Amino acid sequence: MTTTASEQPTSQASFLVADCGATNTTVVLFDVVDGVYRLIARATTPTTVAAPWSDVVLGLQQAITHISQRTGRPLLNERGTLIKPARRDGSGVDHFIVVASAAPPLRTLLVGLFDDVSINSARRALTTSYTQEIDCFSLSDRRNERAQVAALIEKQPDLIFLTGGTDGGAEKRLLEMAEMVNLGLGALAETKRPQVVFAGNRHLRQQVGALIGDRAVVRVADNVRPTLETEQIDDAAEVISRLYQDVKLKSLPGIHEVNEWSNQSPTPTARAFADIVAYFAALHQGRVLGVDLGSNSVTLVTATADSVNLTVRTDLGMGRPVVNLLDKVEPAAIAHWLSYEIGQEVIRDFIVNKSVHPQTIPMTEAELRLEHAIARQVIRQVATEAAADLDRVGQNGASPFRLLLARGATLANAPRPGQALLILLDALQPVGIFSVALDRYGLLPALGTLARREPLAVVQALEAGTLLDLGWVVVPTGPGQPGQEVLNVTVNPGALKVDVGYGEIAVVPLGTAQPVEVSLQPARRFDIGFGPGQGKTVTLRQGAVGLVVDARGRPLSLPQDETARRNQIRQWLWDMGA
Amino acid sequence: MKYFTRSTVVQSLTRIRRERLLPQNGEVVVRVGQDVAPMQVVARTALETDIYLLPASDQLNVAPEDLPQYLLVDEGTIVEQGMILAEKKQFLGRKTVTSPVDGVVADVSNGRIILKQTLDWLELRAMLKGRVVSSIAVDRGVVIETTGSLIQAMWGSGQEGYGTIKIASETAHDPLNVNGLNGETAGRILVTGKIDRVDILARAEEGNVRGLIAGSMPATICQMAASFSFPVILTDGIGDQSMAQPIFQLLQASEGREASLFGQLQDHSGNRPEIIIPLEAGPGVEAPPLNKPIAVGQTVRILRPPYSSQVGQVVRVYRHAQMTPIHTRAHGVDVRLADGHVVFIPSANLDIIT
């Protein structure tokens, strides 16, 4: 991407963008330098929403002060308030935008009819935002109405997501469910009544509103399952996202002061991340996968030029929720990814400690490896379940993508780029030919918020190297035996030839930062995305790692023998320079 | 450069204010200015653990929308078993709806009366010797103030407890020996460097121990700790870590004193488990300083290997990020350890001991 003079920004406005995560707050200053938007400075400090600070502003002020100290540009006045708009003396900034994921998830009670129909679709709508399902009432629920009302009262959800019935379909059972919700709401103190989202049979909107409307705020969204065959979650997803903004983000301690600095409410980080992934998908006219391995959540986005799928998992992450991983897999599954011997108890203790101290970072090689192994397992868990979900609704969850965008402190702070790339390849086990970029400065959600209003700023910020280009990856698939030749790689015709065997992962140096022609010729039974045995010459760039050929097979299989498995893991790390 | 770092309060004498909150609205039974003892009830609320949905309009044979005119109770009315809730007089006699249980009328909806049955009362105890300084929203709870020692911990099993402190291991590094549980430990809160055996908790329960304070305990034992009647509080972490020396020393100095254990798990708002040891003090004792940015001279505890649980003093604060032993860059400080060695520690891995 290049910028011509005619594409220079017209507004000349400066932007300060803050990302308030559960553990860290990152603030970035963008401004126009020599007619082009540049990332001027960035600072990261601990997020201060929890005790003893209990004020999100403190962390923001600290990060903004760091930026001022580095740039010599005053951004806060003597009272600690943001100077806005920018002044002629160079102080201040024109726009302040906040993305946030620091608030706890919306505790949601899901109410619907059939598990395989509306409940499934509702769950997919809920996973597009920071939500936590605390209970589900459906027709398969064996509890009677009385027990359900008691459960509603006891659990005190933030949100009741009421769905069910195709448009024009079942009415009686859904209205009975709505009546049960109404009973529960009535028995709750007024101050504890949750919000209700109704995304069921559209013909019942008025009746549900009349039934529940006196007791709670009822927001209406399109039916998530208008027919048995169609799923339609976008509108409900939008409503839930706004609800998270209104109910959770606006309740962050100190956020009212932040709102005074900004012209708009904080955007949920996952939404902003989805926006930037969609932006790249439109730019590349191809499928783009985004992975955000956060402290309190994991976000997965798949986008094409005309569709976006978003999965936000608040039950997993590298911070407090990492302890939930122990409910999903045995520690042995994590040890599987390690090249050294480790006791299952040690892994359990490490995970619970990490959950108690989510802000801490590894200081020994062994702890770094263990944290990376946990990252693999967390991403794998989310990706596998999200892919199965996409398969269920007729989309191929494992279909190839053109670009992989990854973010999160564990990946961005990996000492060597090969480590971050190998974590992603092990966890996602993708296929085809794709490039990988790492959000090393934690900017992508910030750019997502700018993508709509200042697209040029985004283009120019990206050109300025805000992403770390890890390089290209080729993954041949097909049945093979260890050592069997899988792919022949020829760089800049005649300059370098490499044969990659089955079971290997190889880094092919392209030798220059400039794009080079690379000829890829798979063996007869192997496919790199163009059919078995079909090769292609492509133009690729070196990236931080080089061209990676991952010929380890899919799904990845590891030796049963412990010593052989550890040697294999060690070999792959070595091959990747990790 | 100012850099906020996580801190842990370990103070031998400080002013402490703690909220005691009911899970729902109820009744505060103490007044502002009143001195309270640890086991004294300060507030109470009905625990409604069951719901009754009475089809009242069906029983009276009236339309659901007509039910209100036959009701003898309002929302919030406390009712007893057999009490008449609704009545319809007829030419010959009357039809009534009676309460099947003791409870509260929670709602009337669509021809039904919803009763919340009061199965039990939750009595909220002070758990702290001190003075009530304010009430919270009239009916939610109180704020109790005291002076004494305060230790914030890392992990708690969820329960609360109160008792006299007894040191049960010789050093901050030693595990609790099952043979150490005897008649002398009954009714006490035991302090130990570590807990490393699962049977310790069962033996402690049998021996009427009121609580356990340890530096660390393996995750598998943590999972079980919530099922015991007494609180377990870990001051340093999960696994096999010693108790930080300043904490062990303060608890040693407090042996024989009464302590309150609050074992709540750390939550989104940052509340942590803590140990409060009330101690009479004159005026002028201040609350512990919070929000202190990291600075030279501060005592800090290290949270990750290879120096886990070691306590040292900050000797240098770096202005810019430094290279760590695993070749990442991080903001941090130089810490002089007890053995005199000076090591670089990322701020993220530090806990300021205040």
Pick from A148, A363, A367 the residue to mutate for testing the B interface (most B CBs within 10 Å).
Answer: A363
Q: What are the C-alpha distances in Å from B337 to residues A245, B260, B343, B353?
A: 45, 31, 8, 14
Average pLDDT, chain A: 91
Q: In 10 A of CB A465, how many CB atoms?
A: 11
**CATH level 2 (architecture), domain A270-575:** 2-Layer Sandwich (3.30)
Nearest to B237 by CA among A318, A295, A323, A349: A349
A293-311 per-residue burial string, b: 16 or more CB within 10 A, e: under 16? bbbbbbbbbbbbeeebbbb
Distance CA(A571)–CA(A573), nearest Å, equals 5
Positions of CATH 2.30.30 in chain B = 299-353
Distance CA(A309)–CA(A561), nearest Å, equals 39
pLDDT at B319: 85
* Average pLDDT estimate for B20-29: 86
Higher pLDDT, A439 or A7: A439
Whether the link from the prior residue into A415 is cis, omega within 30° of 0, is no
Looking only at the bridges linking them, the beta strands covering A432-438 and A536-540 are unpaired
pLDDT at B2: 60
Are the Cβ atoms of A45 and B240 closer than 8 angstroms? no
Per-residue pLDDT for A2 more than 50? no
pLDDT at A1: 38
Per-residue pLDDT for A68 more than 50? yes
pLDDT at B337: 96
Bridge partners, residue A497, by sequence: A490
Distance CA(A235)–CA(A206), nearest Å, equals 18
Pick from A70, A353, A354, A416 the residue to mutate for testing the B interface (most B CBs within 10 Å).
Answer: A353
A46 touches chain B (CB under 8 A): yes
Per-residue pLDDT for B113 more than 50? yes
Positions of CATH 2.40.50 in chain B = 46-120
A residues 139-158 closer than 8 Å to B (CB) = 145-147, 149-150, 153-154
Q: Fill in the DSSP letter of residue B293.
A: B
Residue with tokens 């024989």: B256
Q: Is B6 exposed, middle or buried (0-12, 13-18, 19+ CB in 10 A)?
A: buried
Distance CA(A347)–CA(A325), nearest Å, equals 11
Positions of CATH 3.40.50.280 in chain A = 106-249
What's the gap in Å between the CA of A569 and the closest CA on chain B?
Answer: 19
Per-residue pLDDT for A9 more than 50? no
A32-46, A146-160, A334-348, B22-36 — most confident range: A334-348
Per-residue pLDDT for B36 more than 80? yes
What's the gap in Å between the CA of B233 and the closest CA on chain A?
Answer: 13
Per-residue pLDDT for A572 more than 90? yes
Distance CA(B277)–CA(B189), nearest Å, equals 12
Q: Which of A417-421, B76-80, B219-223, B225-229 has the least mean pLDDT?
A: B76-80
Distance CA(A521)–CA(A506), nearest Å, equals 15
Strands (DSSP E) contained in B126-269 are 130-136, 141-152, 155-156, 160-167, 188-194, 211-217, 232-238, 258-262
The pLDDT confidence band at residue A398, using thresholds 50, 70 and 90, is low
pLDDT at A392: 65
Per-residue pLDDT for A575 more than 70? yes
Q: What is the pLDDT of residues A219-270, one digit of tens each?
A: 999 999 999 999 999 999 999 999 999 999 998 999 988 888 987 889 999 9
Q: What is the pLDDT of residues B235-269, one digit of tens each?
A: 999 999 999 999 999 999 999 999 999 998 777 77
The reported pTM is: 0.91
Write out the DSSP string of A109-150: EEE-S-IIIIIHHHHHHHTTSSEEEEEEE-TT--S-HHHHHH
Distance CA(B3)–CA(B347), nearest Å, equals 8
Are the Cβ atoms of B327 and A415 closer than 8 angstroms? yes
Distance CA(A554)–CA(A565), nearest Å, equals 17
Looking only at the bridges linking them, the beta strands covering B258-262 and B232-238 are unpaired
Distance CA(A188)–CA(A44), nearest Å, equals 42
Q: What is the pLDDT of residues B271-298, one digit of tens each?
A: 899 999 999 877 777 877 766 788 999 9
Distance CA(B296)–CA(B318), nearest Å, equals 10
What's the gap in Å between the CA of A415 and the closest CA on chain B?
Answer: 5
Q: What is the pLDDT of residues A482-525, one digit of tens each?
A: 889 999 999 987 778 999 999 999 999 988 778 899 999 999 99
The pLDDT confidence band at residue B184, using thresholds 50, 70 and 90, is confident
In this structure, what are the phi and psi dihedrals at residue B145, rounded to the nearest 5 degrees?
A: -115, 140
Instruction: State which residue of chain A sits closest to B155, comparing Cα positions.
Output: A356
Residue with tokens 């310790």: B200
Distance CA(B163)–CA(B186), nearest Å, equals 10
Type and span of the H or E element at A220: strand A218-220
- The CATH code for residues B46-120 is 2.40.50
* Average pLDDT estimate for A371-389: 93
A residues 352-391 closer than 8 Å to B (CB) = 352-353, 356-357, 359-365, 367-368
Q: What are the C-alpha distances in Å from A17 to residues A246, B155, B238?
A: 20, 35, 37
A534 touches chain B (CB under 8 A): no
A399 touches chain B (CB under 8 A): no
In this structure, what are the phi and psi dihedrals at residue A521, rounded to the nearest 5 degrees?
A: -125, 105
CATH of B299-353, one of 2.30.30, 1.10.3860, 1.10.10, 3.30.300: 2.30.30
Positions of CATH 3.50.30.10 in chain B = 7-40+126-278
Q: What is the pLDDT of residues B310-343, one digit of tens each?
A: 999 999 999 888 999 999 999 899 999 999 999 9
pLDDT at A396: 62
Q: What are the C-alpha distances in Å from A504 to residues A481, A550, A573?
A: 11, 7, 11
Instruction: State which residue of chain B sits closest to A104, comparing Cα positions.
Output: B268
Chain B residues whose beta carbon lies within 8 Å of the beta carbon of residue A314: none
Are the Cβ atoms of A186 and B106 closer than 8 angstroms? yes
Per-residue pLDDT for A129 more than 80? yes
What's the gap in Å between the CA of B308 and the closest CA on chain A?
Answer: 11
A53 touches chain B (CB under 8 A): yes
Q: What are the C-alpha distances in Å from B111 to residues A153, B87, B105?
A: 20, 13, 14
Contacts for A202 with CB less than 8 Å, ≥ 6 apart: A167, A222, A223, A226
Bridge partners, residue A537, by sequence: A519
Q: What is the pLDDT of residues B156-168, one digit of tens each?
A: 999 999 999 999 9
Alpha-carbon dihedral of residues A176, A178, A181, A182, nearest 10 degrees? -100
pLDDT at B67: 94
Distance CA(A198)–CA(A240), nearest Å, equals 11
Q: In 10 A of CB A572, how many CB atoms?
A: 22
pLDDT at A4: 40
pLDDT at A8: 42
**CATH level 2 (architecture), domain B7-40+126-278:** 3-Layer(bba) Sandwich (3.50)
8 Å CB contact between A144 and A183: no
pLDDT at A457: 82
Are the Cβ atoms of A149 and B53 closer than 8 angstroms? yes
Q: Which of B4, B5, B324 sits opposite A363 (nearest CB)?
A: B324
Distance CA(A177)–CA(A183), nearest Å, equals 10
Does CATH place domain A106-249 in 3.90.1150.10?
A: no
Are the Cβ atoms of A350 and B239 closer than 8 angstroms? yes
Contacts for A149 with CB less than 8 Å, ≥ 6 apart: A180, A183, A184, A187, B51, B53, B114
A residues 177-196 closer than 8 Å to B (CB) = 179, 182-183, 186-187, 189, 192
**CATH level 2 (architecture), domain A5-100:** 2-Layer Sandwich (3.30)
